[in-house]
């Protein structure tokens, strides 16, 4: 069964850190560009960061540059999003996406930044 399962979402105070994980099953992520997206209440889903198949290249949206880092471990079939200096406006459901010959989405994990 093909699945992407995110984990690591939590309630955290502003300035805190979280690391999200996304583990794939049923396919090999090394064949896919991986990315993280987020959707806040009442807003459209937006791309946060993406990483190439080998992990050599990555991109991040301007609002998270210097704070978020995307990485991948193809041997573990897992992609990560390290989030530091979290802000209230980072509150959203975070989704993992695999894009290649097919496109797969995870079910999302909730990140809430609040004091």
Q: Quick one: pLDDT at residue 14?
A: 98
Other C-beta atoms within 10 Å of 91: how many? 17
Task: Say if residue 115 is exposed, middle or buried (CB neighbours under 10 Å; 0-12, 13-18, 19+).
Answer: exposed
What per-residue confidence (pLDDT) applies to 110? Answer: 98
pLDDT value, residue 60: 96
pLDDT tens digits for the chain (115 residues)? 999 999 999 999 999 999 999 999 999 999 999 999 999 999 999 999 999 999 999 999 999 999 999 999 999 999 999 999 999 999 999 999 999 999 999 999 999 999 9
Q: Which residues pair with 33 in a beta bridge?
A: 99
3-state secondary structure of 89: helix
Q: What is the pLDDT of residue 96?
A: 98
Say what the pLDDT of residue 8 is. Answer: 98
Rounded Cα distance between 62 and 84, Å, is: 14
């Amino acid at each position: 069964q093909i699945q992407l399962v995110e984990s690591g979402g939590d309630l955290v105070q502003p300035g805190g850190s979280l690391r999200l994980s996304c583990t794939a099953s049923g396919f090999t992520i090394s064949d896919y560009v991986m990315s993280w997206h987020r959707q806040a209440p009442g807003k459209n889903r937006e791309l946060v960061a993406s990483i190439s198949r080998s992990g050599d290249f990555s991109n991040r949206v301007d609002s998270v540059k210097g704070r978020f880092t995307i990485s991948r471990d193809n041997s573990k079939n897992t992609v990560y999003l390290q989030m530091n200096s979290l802000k209230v406006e980072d509150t959203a459901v975070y989704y993992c996406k695999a894009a290649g010959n097919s496109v797969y989405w995870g079910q999302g994990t909730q990140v809430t930044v609040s004091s």
